[in-house]
Structures are given as C-alpha cells and as structure tokens.
Chain A
Amino acid sequence: MTATPPSRRRALRRVFALAGGAALVRSGVAQPATEPRVIEMTAHRFAYEPNEIALRAGERVVIAIRSLDFVHGMNIPDLGMRLDLVPGRVTRLELQPKVPGTIDFVCDNFCGDGHEEMHGRFIVSA
C-alpha cells in the first residue's frame, strides 16, 4: 500500500469518521472469532469482475483479487488506500464498512486502451 501524505491522512480520517468505514489489507489485523466472508474478484484488461459488490454495514469481508494479465491498480480514494494487483498472486483486501453508502474503486495503473473504463464500487446496505 502506498504511503499517504500527512495532509491526506488527516482528510481521510475525516472521511472515515463520516463514513464509519474500516478497511485493512492483509497483515496486522487481530483475528476475530468469526471468519470474514471471502469474495473472489478478478482483474483483467479492462474490468474488475464483479465490478459491483454488495456488502452489509458492519460485515467483515475479504476481497480476494487475482489479476489475470497486468499489474492493475486498485485505488479506493474514499478509504485512502491503493493496491497493486500482481498477476500470479492473490491480493487480499479486508473491509468492514460501518454505514451504508457507495465506495468507488478505480484502476490507477495505466493498462491500455480501455483503462479509463476499469472501475467498480462497493455498495453498502444497512
């Protein structure tokens, strides 16, 4: 995950406070009693599949992402995080959104003619 400048971190803390969202990537997370729901996703030129994922507020999930053809990016500006999706690896993104809403994500590694159409969103319901 890319380091975020202090000013941006402050802004993102505000976003988190407003959205009540939570997102963690891979390690450093205390293991809770129940396992999170795992949602598999693929990334390929020029789409995420699925590109709309329904979540429930408060639910812990892991998005397990496989890139099939390129080091695609996954930038989630509202959560202040981004990932490189390296082919041959499974990149795990842990989320626990707290309130309903929409969280957009976009490929931010230019991947060719169609890159601009590579985006998706998490739709969080109550």
Chain B
Amino acid sequence: MQRRDFLALTALGGGAVFASGLAGCASRADGMAGAGNSDFYFVQLSDTHWGYQGPANPDAAVTLRKAVAAVNALPAPPEFVVFTGDLTHTTDDPVERRRRLAEFKSIVADLKVKTVRFMPGEHDASLDRGAAYKEYFGETFYTFDHKGVHFIAVDNVSDPGAKIGDEQLAWLRADLAKLDKQAPIVVLTHRPLFDLAPKWDWATRDGAQAIELLMPFANVTVFYGHIHQEHHQMTGHIAHHSAKSLIFALPAPGSQPNRTPLPWDASAPYKGLGFREIEAEDAGRALKVTELPVVRA
C-alpha cells in the first residue's frame, strides 16, 4: 500500500486530515545540503505529562505506553518522531523531576523508530531553566535537516516567563540567514508563538519577534503543543498547528472562564487525546497533517 493510500484510509477511518502550507516551493531543494526528493512522514506527540495523577486521566499510568504502542502499530514506520514538550508533569522536587524524565525516556525507548527528537515544555524545564531536561535530552533548541526540509526547534519554556530570549533569537536569526527564502522550514516549539489566548497564558512573550524573523521565508509551518488540543491558525502566510495531548484535553481557547481540564469521559476513554502524522510530499512542497487517536474505537 502506498503511503498516500494509507493516509486516505486513516482519514476515512476517523483521522482528520489537514493540508498545510509549504506550497509553492518546488524549486527549493537544489540549494540545501543533503536535500532529496523523497516523500516522508514524521509523527508529533505532545504533552504526555508523565507523572501526572488526577481525575482528568485515571489511566495516566498507561496512556503513554498505549501511545507508544499506537505509533509502533502504524502500517509504515515514520522516519522520525518528535515530542513537542511537557514530557513530564512538573514537580518542585529535583529528584522526582529526574525520576520522571528517566521513566519517560525509558518508556519511549520502546518506539520502533530510529530517530526520536525531544523538546521541553514548561512542566519539564521552567522551574530549573532546563537543567534536569538537558541531562537527559541535551540541548533545548537546535536544528536539523531531513530530506530537504529545515527543522528548527525553538525553546520558549526554559525561561519561566515564556520568553525565547535575545540569545536564542540571535541564534535563530543567524540560522535563518543561511537559508534560501524559498526553503521549506518547519518550526517545532511548545507554546504558541502568537498570542492565542494571553488570558490563559497561551502565548510566547517574545514570540512576535520569532515570527517576524520567519516572515521573509515563503514556506514556514509551525507545530506546537501546550494547549492540549488540535488548533490551526495563520499569522500571515505562516501556518501554526497545535497538537492534542496524551494526558488530558483542555477547553477551546477562551471558551470558558478558566482553562481547567475537560473531564475524563468513562464512556469514551481517551476522547480528545491523540497524536498526529505529518507527511511532507515532494521535498516539502506540501505538508499533510493527519490526526490519530491513542486507541481505535
């Protein structure tokens, strides 16, 4: 079965498909080292909050393992997996924080995928500015290239004030300066870079500066987490897609006075949770997003 056929089947079977940006970059591949023309897909998982205990997910002890199993059961393995933050649920205790990070790492080691990339969320990194996270997963911001697409992981959580910070913005500016304006770029981050709902702290304080740096580039797509639900928004020509959580769902932005978790539905366990596939076709000419559940109905 071709990858495209599989995506069509998952769409019919309940997974939502969302075609995203990166259109119009057919001529881009030539200037980038290691560029190729192969289609590929990767998986985004987010907000696993390992260590959470509470009524919003009475199955918290097994949800992450079920998500790992779901990824391993995909008909074709992704070329890589990325976790966009809040790997663990926060704790004041540095020893417990490290225990949770270690357990998380051990569980996701069962993913049958060669490359797994990580990013911190504020629950992992804000209380110690990323110190424990770095011990287990390395740098909190970085880039990599995959088959002609340039990926940039932006850290907007190690500063407890939800700032990217001047140093990282300078690093981002320098990285972007090396790219062709038509290069396909995927930004991975935890918080929304735009002001989605500042009243709920769903924003990045200096995110507008990052977006300004990205604006000259024709083909930019942002994948993030934090808000525990699928959400799609454009800032100019830049598409931003938030991912579902793997612990509990949160209400739609501003839909109620407070951002309290949606209650667990015992008649429909794992409702509102899930992960997604992102397929890059023709070396980043287009991205196709497919939402998938943790467990099949």
Contacts and interface: CB of A to CB of B under 8 A. Distances in A.
Interface string B199-225: 111010100100000000000000000
**Consensus secondary structure, chain A interface:** mixed
Interface string A48-70: 00000000000000000000000
**Consensus secondary structure, chain B interface:** loop
Interface string A71-101: 1010101000000100000000000000000
B90 A108 contact: no
A124 interface: no
B199 A104 contact: yes
B127 A112 contact: yes
Contact of B208 (A5, A73, A116, A117): A5
B208 A2 contact: no
Interface string A109-123: 111110111010000
Given A112-B90, A117-B258, A107 B201 contact: yes
A84 B259 CA distance: 22
Interface string A1-41: 01001011000000000000000000000000000000000
Interface of B: 89-92, 122, 126-127, 157, 160-162, 195, 198-201, 203, 205, 208, 258-259
Interface of A: 2, 5, 7-8, 71, 73, 75, 77, 84, 104, 106-113, 115-117, 119
Given A77-B198, A112-B92, 16 more contacts: A2-B205, A8-B195, A75-B198, A75-B201, A84-B161, A104-B199, A106-B201, A108-B161, A110-B122, A110-B127, A110-B162, A112-B127, A113-B90, A116-B259, A117-B258, A119-B199
